[in-house]
Amino acid sequence: MLVGYARVSTQTQSLDRQIDALVAAGVDRRNIYKEKASGKKRDRPELQRLLDELQEGDVVIVAETTRVSRSTKDLLELIDAIRGRGAEIRSLSEPWLDTTDSSPMAEFVRTVMAGFSQLERQMTSERVKDGLKAAKARGRKGGRPSKRNAHADAVMALYKGGLHISDIAKHEGISRTTVYKIIGEQEELES
């Protein structure tokens, strides 16, 4: 039986692209294990459930290796765990990951290619870090823009006008904690 595994790193990301690819490869939607969790986490309940429920002769299908593993060691351990249950694994985007071919050359190619995949992920991570460092050196900050800056003038005008904190928060659509922080920052600047 074909069994699929789809994973994204955050709750806001969509699994649709992977699920569509798995279904197109012949996996029944009912046999797709879906997970929204970082690939860096070792504890992924749906992946563990998939492994626990594997039957001899099953083939685990993934859209790409990054969905199931983040390192060569992790991928090789996962392959061993799947094969230890009498099952196989195949990636739709990396033809080298297909354990139904167990020849020595195929085993060697899998190991080398898994290493290249890990190298590519690490190089991408380094490029992102370098880009963030360069942006920071130019005075740019990453992350979500602060609500405090966008609401500071209005909050202070309402506060100085005598409005209660909870009313200011409702009026501006922000939390009371944010209102308090804005007031505190502004009073600190004024002193």
Cross-strand bridge partners of residue 7: 35
In this structure, what DSSP letter does residue 103 have?
-
Helix (H, G, I), strand (E, B) or coil at 96: coil
Q: How many Å apart are CA 37 and CA 33, to the nearest integer? A: 12
The DSSP bridge partners found for residue 90 are 61, 98
**Which pair of structure tokens corresponds to residue 184?**
């505190």
Nearest to residue 85, comparing CAs of 62, 104, 58, 67?
58
Q: Which residues are catalytic?
A: 9
